[in-house]
Amino acid sequence: MRYNIAEPSIFMPTSLIEALAWKERNPHATVYGGGTYLLWNEAGRLLHLPGSILSLQNIKELNRLGRTETRLDVGATVSIQRILRAGPKVLSPLLAEALESICPPSVATMATLGGNLSVRDRCMASFPLMHVLDARCELRSFRGTRWVPVTGLRSADGKLQMGTTELITRIQIPMEEWNFYIYRRIGTFPYGITADSLILVIVGKIDRGMLTEFRFAIGNFSSRIYRNRDLETLLIGARLPLGKSKDLKEFLYAVQEDLKNWNFIPSSMQMERILHILQVTLSNPFQYGS
Protein backbone atom coordinates (compact mmCIF):
# COMPACT_ATOMS: atom_id res chain seq x y z
CA MET A 1 0.00 0.00 0.00
CA ARG A 2 1.23 3.49 -0.86
CA TYR A 3 0.65 6.23 1.63
CA ASN A 4 -0.85 9.45 0.41
CA ILE A 5 1.41 11.78 2.28
CA ALA A 6 0.01 14.96 0.84
CA GLU A 7 1.49 16.52 3.93
CA PRO A 8 -1.06 15.54 6.56
CA SER A 9 -0.01 17.17 9.79
CA ILE A 10 -0.14 14.60 12.56
CA PHE A 11 0.20 15.74 16.16
CA MET A 12 0.89 13.02 18.73
CA PRO A 13 1.02 14.67 22.16
CA THR A 14 1.96 12.76 25.29
CA SER A 15 -0.18 14.81 27.66
CA LEU A 16 -3.85 15.70 27.62
CA ILE A 17 -3.23 19.38 28.28
CA GLU A 18 -1.01 19.57 25.17
CA ALA A 19 -3.69 17.81 23.14
CA LEU A 20 -6.42 20.19 24.32
CA ALA A 21 -4.30 23.27 23.68
CA TRP A 22 -3.51 22.06 20.15
CA LYS A 23 -7.15 21.24 19.45
CA GLU A 24 -8.11 24.73 20.62
CA ARG A 25 -5.84 26.12 17.90
CA ASN A 26 -6.85 23.48 15.33
CA PRO A 27 -10.58 22.95 15.90
CA HIS A 28 -11.09 21.19 12.56
CA ALA A 29 -8.33 18.64 13.01
CA THR A 30 -9.56 15.03 12.98
CA VAL A 31 -9.24 13.23 16.29
CA TYR A 32 -7.66 9.80 15.94
CA GLY A 33 -8.57 7.30 18.70
CA GLY A 34 -7.91 3.76 17.48
CA GLY A 35 -8.41 4.84 13.87
CA THR A 36 -10.50 1.79 13.00
CA TYR A 37 -13.59 3.73 11.97
CA LEU A 38 -11.58 6.42 10.18
CA LEU A 39 -9.65 3.86 8.13
CA TRP A 40 -12.48 1.34 7.76
CA ASN A 41 -13.35 2.13 4.18
CA GLU A 42 -9.81 2.77 3.02
CA ALA A 43 -9.69 -0.22 0.70
CA GLY A 44 -7.95 1.50 -2.20
CA ARG A 45 -4.23 1.63 -2.94
CA LEU A 46 -4.01 5.15 -1.61
CA LEU A 47 -4.60 5.87 2.01
CA HIS A 48 -6.59 9.10 2.28
CA LEU A 49 -5.71 10.73 5.55
CA PRO A 50 -7.39 13.93 6.69
CA GLY A 51 -5.20 17.03 6.37
CA SER A 52 -4.71 17.54 10.06
CA ILE A 53 -4.79 14.77 12.69
CA LEU A 54 -4.67 14.78 16.48
CA SER A 55 -3.65 11.32 17.65
CA LEU A 56 -4.61 10.43 21.22
CA GLN A 57 -2.61 7.23 21.28
CA ASN A 58 0.38 8.40 23.34
CA ILE A 59 -1.65 10.09 26.09
CA LYS A 60 -1.35 7.90 29.19
CA GLU A 61 -4.12 9.76 31.07
CA LEU A 62 -6.62 8.56 28.48
CA ASN A 63 -5.58 4.95 28.72
CA ARG A 64 -6.78 4.15 32.23
CA LEU A 65 -9.38 1.58 33.17
CA GLY A 66 -10.87 1.45 36.66
CA ARG A 67 -13.74 -0.19 38.49
CA THR A 68 -15.48 0.85 41.69
CA GLU A 69 -18.39 -0.94 43.32
CA THR A 70 -20.90 1.06 41.32
CA ARG A 71 -19.27 1.94 38.03
CA LEU A 72 -16.68 1.21 35.36
CA ASP A 73 -14.40 4.08 34.31
CA VAL A 74 -13.03 3.74 30.80
CA GLY A 75 -10.42 6.12 29.43
CA ALA A 76 -11.16 7.26 25.89
CA THR A 77 -8.28 5.34 24.29
CA VAL A 78 -8.61 2.05 26.19
CA SER A 79 -9.08 -0.56 23.49
CA ILE A 80 -12.21 -2.70 23.43
CA GLN A 81 -9.98 -5.76 23.73
CA ARG A 82 -8.37 -4.41 26.90
CA ILE A 83 -11.76 -3.78 28.49
CA LEU A 84 -12.80 -7.32 27.59
CA ARG A 85 -9.60 -8.72 29.10
CA ALA A 86 -10.63 -7.28 32.48
CA GLY A 87 -12.91 -10.33 32.63
CA PRO A 88 -16.05 -11.28 34.56
CA LYS A 89 -14.85 -9.88 37.91
CA VAL A 90 -14.93 -6.40 36.38
CA LEU A 91 -17.49 -6.61 33.57
CA SER A 92 -21.11 -7.67 33.66
CA PRO A 93 -22.05 -10.43 31.18
CA LEU A 94 -24.23 -7.89 29.35
CA LEU A 95 -21.36 -5.45 28.92
CA ALA A 96 -18.96 -8.20 27.84
CA GLU A 97 -21.43 -9.48 25.25
CA ALA A 98 -22.06 -5.98 23.90
CA LEU A 99 -18.35 -5.12 23.69
CA GLU A 100 -17.63 -8.36 21.84
CA SER A 101 -20.28 -7.40 19.29
CA ILE A 102 -18.80 -4.01 18.45
CA CYS A 103 -16.19 -5.12 15.93
CA PRO A 104 -14.20 -8.24 14.94
CA PRO A 105 -11.57 -9.35 17.52
CA SER A 106 -8.70 -8.34 15.21
CA VAL A 107 -10.09 -4.79 15.11
CA ALA A 108 -10.94 -4.69 18.85
CA THR A 109 -7.21 -4.54 19.67
CA MET A 110 -7.24 -0.94 18.38
CA ALA A 111 -10.90 0.17 18.47
CA THR A 112 -11.95 2.29 21.44
CA LEU A 113 -15.22 3.00 23.19
CA GLY A 114 -14.44 6.73 23.00
CA GLY A 115 -14.21 6.45 19.21
CA ASN A 116 -17.37 4.37 19.04
CA LEU A 117 -19.38 7.08 20.80
CA SER A 118 -17.78 9.95 18.87
CA VAL A 119 -18.68 9.01 15.30
CA ARG A 120 -20.47 12.17 14.12
CA ASP A 121 -23.04 10.88 11.68
CA ARG A 122 -23.89 7.49 13.22
CA CYS A 123 -24.86 5.93 16.52
CA MET A 124 -22.46 2.99 16.48
CA ALA A 125 -22.88 -0.40 18.14
CA SER A 126 -22.30 0.64 21.76
CA PHE A 127 -24.65 3.61 21.63
CA PRO A 128 -28.02 1.95 22.44
CA LEU A 129 -26.48 0.06 25.39
CA MET A 130 -24.68 3.10 26.79
CA HIS A 131 -27.96 5.01 26.46
CA VAL A 132 -29.95 2.39 28.32
CA LEU A 133 -27.31 1.94 31.05
CA ASP A 134 -27.19 5.71 31.70
CA ALA A 135 -23.48 5.91 30.94
CA ARG A 136 -21.93 9.38 30.82
CA CYS A 137 -18.99 10.92 29.05
CA GLU A 138 -16.40 13.34 30.31
CA LEU A 139 -15.90 15.99 27.62
CA ARG A 140 -12.85 18.18 27.90
CA SER A 141 -11.60 21.16 26.00
CA PHE A 142 -8.85 23.65 26.79
CA ARG A 143 -11.56 25.82 28.37
CA GLY A 144 -12.95 23.26 30.79
CA THR A 145 -14.60 19.93 31.59
CA ARG A 146 -18.22 18.84 31.49
CA TRP A 147 -20.02 15.57 32.00
CA VAL A 148 -22.70 14.64 29.50
CA PRO A 149 -24.96 11.61 29.83
CA VAL A 150 -25.02 9.48 26.67
CA THR A 151 -28.75 10.20 26.61
CA GLY A 152 -27.81 13.84 25.98
CA LEU A 153 -24.88 13.26 23.65
CA ARG A 154 -27.13 13.74 20.62
CA SER A 155 -29.92 16.18 19.93
CA ALA A 156 -33.40 14.95 18.95
CA ASP A 157 -32.43 15.19 15.28
CA GLY A 158 -29.26 13.15 15.84
CA LYS A 159 -26.56 15.84 15.98
CA LEU A 160 -23.59 15.01 18.20
CA GLN A 161 -23.53 17.55 21.01
CA MET A 162 -19.78 17.90 21.14
CA GLY A 163 -17.90 21.09 20.29
CA THR A 164 -15.14 21.03 17.67
CA THR A 165 -12.51 21.65 20.35
CA GLU A 166 -13.87 19.01 22.76
CA LEU A 167 -12.67 15.46 23.22
CA ILE A 168 -14.32 12.55 24.97
CA THR A 169 -11.76 11.77 27.65
CA ARG A 170 -13.55 9.22 29.83
CA ILE A 171 -16.71 7.12 29.89
CA GLN A 172 -18.41 6.14 33.14
CA ILE A 173 -20.70 3.13 32.99
CA PRO A 174 -22.94 2.41 36.01
CA MET A 175 -22.67 -1.25 37.05
CA GLU A 176 -26.20 -1.88 38.21
CA GLU A 177 -27.60 -5.38 38.67
CA TRP A 178 -30.18 -6.20 36.03
CA ASN A 179 -32.34 -9.25 36.62
CA PHE A 180 -32.76 -9.83 32.91
CA TYR A 181 -31.04 -8.48 29.83
CA ILE A 182 -30.68 -9.03 26.11
CA TYR A 183 -28.12 -7.59 23.69
CA ARG A 184 -28.89 -8.80 20.20
CA ARG A 185 -27.43 -7.92 16.81
CA ILE A 186 -29.90 -8.58 14.03
CA GLY A 187 -29.00 -8.57 10.34
CA THR A 188 -27.06 -10.42 7.68
CA PHE A 189 -23.60 -10.04 9.24
CA PRO A 190 -22.37 -10.17 12.84
CA TYR A 191 -20.22 -7.05 12.30
CA GLY A 192 -20.25 -4.08 9.98
CA ILE A 193 -23.09 -1.92 8.75
CA THR A 194 -25.58 -3.13 6.18
CA ALA A 195 -29.08 -1.89 5.36
CA ASP A 196 -30.58 -4.53 7.68
CA SER A 197 -28.20 -4.05 10.67
CA LEU A 198 -30.05 -3.58 13.94
CA ILE A 199 -29.11 -3.71 17.60
CA LEU A 200 -31.66 -4.42 20.29
CA VAL A 201 -30.95 -3.91 23.99
CA ILE A 202 -33.38 -4.87 26.74
CA VAL A 203 -32.77 -4.65 30.50
CA GLY A 204 -35.11 -5.06 33.43
CA LYS A 205 -35.40 -5.43 37.19
CA ILE A 206 -37.77 -7.68 39.09
CA ASP A 207 -38.75 -7.39 42.72
CA ARG A 208 -40.95 -10.03 44.36
CA GLY A 209 -42.27 -11.19 41.02
CA MET A 210 -43.07 -7.67 39.83
CA LEU A 211 -41.44 -5.70 37.00
CA THR A 212 -39.92 -2.65 38.70
CA GLU A 213 -37.70 -1.28 35.95
CA PHE A 214 -37.63 -1.84 32.22
CA ARG A 215 -35.65 -0.15 29.45
CA PHE A 216 -35.09 -0.97 25.83
CA ALA A 217 -33.49 0.69 22.82
CA ILE A 218 -32.90 -0.10 19.17
CA GLY A 219 -30.01 1.11 17.04
CA ASN A 220 -29.81 1.00 13.23
CA PHE A 221 -26.50 2.86 12.77
CA SER A 222 -28.26 6.03 11.67
CA SER A 223 -27.68 9.27 13.56
CA ARG A 224 -30.51 8.42 16.01
CA ILE A 225 -31.47 5.46 18.13
CA TYR A 226 -35.01 4.42 18.99
CA ARG A 227 -36.04 4.71 22.63
CA ASN A 228 -39.43 5.64 24.09
CA ARG A 229 -39.49 6.05 27.85
CA ASP A 230 -43.28 6.32 27.96
CA LEU A 231 -43.56 2.84 26.50
CA GLU A 232 -40.93 1.58 28.96
CA THR A 233 -43.20 2.51 31.85
CA LEU A 234 -46.30 0.75 30.47
CA LEU A 235 -45.45 -2.59 32.06
CA ILE A 236 -43.98 -1.34 35.33
CA GLY A 237 -45.77 -3.00 38.24
CA ALA A 238 -46.93 -5.94 36.11
CA ARG A 239 -46.67 -9.44 37.62
CA LEU A 240 -44.16 -11.69 35.88
CA PRO A 241 -44.02 -13.83 33.89
CA LEU A 242 -46.35 -12.01 31.54
CA GLY A 243 -46.96 -15.14 29.44
CA LYS A 244 -49.64 -14.34 26.88
CA SER A 245 -51.25 -11.59 28.93
CA LYS A 246 -53.36 -8.77 27.52
CA ASP A 247 -50.86 -6.26 28.99
CA LEU A 248 -48.03 -7.74 26.94
CA LYS A 249 -50.12 -7.82 23.74
CA GLU A 250 -51.07 -4.16 24.22
CA PHE A 251 -47.46 -3.24 24.90
CA LEU A 252 -46.23 -4.99 21.75
CA TYR A 253 -48.92 -3.35 19.67
CA ALA A 254 -47.93 0.09 21.04
CA VAL A 255 -44.26 -0.59 20.23
CA GLN A 256 -45.12 -1.71 16.71
CA GLU A 257 -47.19 1.41 16.02
CA ASP A 258 -44.53 3.67 17.46
CA LEU A 259 -41.76 2.04 15.41
CA LYS A 260 -43.87 2.48 12.29
CA ASN A 261 -44.25 6.18 13.10
CA TRP A 262 -40.53 6.52 13.57
CA ASN A 263 -39.95 4.69 10.28
CA PHE A 264 -37.03 3.05 12.03
CA ILE A 265 -37.14 -0.64 11.11
CA PRO A 266 -36.06 -1.49 7.54
CA SER A 267 -38.45 -4.37 6.75
CA SER A 268 -41.52 -6.17 8.07
CA MET A 269 -39.33 -9.22 8.74
CA GLN A 270 -37.03 -7.11 10.94
CA MET A 271 -40.08 -5.69 12.71
CA GLU A 272 -41.29 -9.24 13.42
CA ARG A 273 -37.87 -10.19 14.82
CA ILE A 274 -37.83 -7.22 17.17
CA LEU A 275 -41.37 -7.83 18.40
CA HIS A 276 -40.67 -11.54 18.77
CA ILE A 277 -37.57 -10.96 20.90
CA LEU A 278 -39.47 -8.48 23.09
CA GLN A 279 -42.36 -10.90 23.45
CA VAL A 280 -40.22 -13.94 24.27
CA THR A 281 -38.13 -11.95 26.75
CA LEU A 282 -41.05 -10.39 28.57
CA SER A 283 -43.27 -13.44 28.56
CA ASN A 284 -40.70 -15.16 30.78
CA PRO A 285 -37.81 -12.82 31.71
CA PHE A 286 -36.49 -15.20 34.38
CA GLN A 287 -34.67 -17.21 31.72
CA TYR A 288 -32.57 -14.19 30.65
CA GLY A 289 -30.97 -13.38 33.98
CA SER A 290 -27.37 -13.42 35.15
| Closest among 145, 144, 118, 146 to 130, alpha carbons compared | 118
Alpha-helix residue ranges (DSSP H) falling in the chain:
16-25, 80-85, 93-100, 105-108, 113-118, 127-132, 229-233, 246-262, 268-283
* Contact call for residue 111 and ligand FAD (CB under 6 A): yes
* Strands 167-174, 71-75: pairing kind: antiparallel
Task: Give the interface segment with ligand FAD, choosing from 17-25, 101-109, 171-179, 210-218 (CB under 6 A).
Answer: 101-109
The interface mask with ligand FAD, positions 132-151, x = CB under 6 A, is --------------------
Beta bridge partners of 174: 71
Contact code string over 42-61 relative to ligand FAD, x by CB under 6 A: --------------x-----
Q: Nearer Cβ to ligand FAD, position 164 or 267?
A: 164
Give the three-class secondary structure for 278: helix
Q: Which is nearer to ligand FAD, 1 or 70 (CB)?
A: 1
Decide: 59 and 19 in contact? Cβ < 8 Å. yes
CB of 220 to ligand FAD, least distance (A): 12
Going residue by residue from 59 to 88, which x/- string records binding to ligand FAD, judged by CB under 6 A? -----------------x------------
Separation of first and last alpha carbons in the chain: 47
Q: Which residues, 6 or more positions from 278, have their beta carbon under 8 angstroms from its beta carbon?
A: 200, 202, 216, 251, 252, 255
Verify binding: residue 165, ligand FAD, rule CB under 6 A: no
Q: Is 37 in the site for ligand FAD (CB under 6 A)?
A: yes
Whole-angstrom distance, CA of residue 82 vs CA of residue 219: 24
**By C-beta, is 120 or 239 nearer to ligand FAD?**
120
Report the 10 Å Cβ neighbour count for 54.
21
User: Which of 19, 20, 59, 115 touches ligand FAD (CB under 6 A)?
Assistant: 115
Total residues belonging to the chain: 290
Pick from 98, 124, 135, 274: which binds ligand FAD (CB under 6 A)? 124
* Binding segment (CB under 6 A) for ligand FAD, from list 6-14, 92-100, 105-113, 231-239: 105-113
Q: Contact 136/172 with Cβ under 8 angstroms?
A: yes
Q: Is residue 128 at the binding interface for ligand FAD, with CB under 6 A as the rule?
A: no
For residues 68 and 86, give the distance between their C-alpha atoms in angstroms, rounded to a whole number.
13
Query: Regarding beta strands 136-141 and 144-149, do their DSSP bridges make them parallel or antiparallel, or are they unpaired?
Result: antiparallel
Residues touching ligand FAD, count (CB under 6 A):
31
Q: Is position 29 an interface residue for ligand FAD (rule: CB under 6 A)?
A: no
Residue list 270-289, contact with ligand FAD (CB under 6 A): none
The binder of ligand FAD chosen from 118, 165, 270, 281 (CB under 6 A)? 118
The answer to whether 197 and 221 have CB atoms below 8 angstroms apart is yes
Q: Is 179 in the site for ligand FAD (CB under 6 A)?
A: no
Binding residues for ligand FAD, per CB under 6 A? 30-38, 40, 56, 76, 102-104, 107, 110-112, 114-116, 118-120, 124-125, 167-168, 191-192
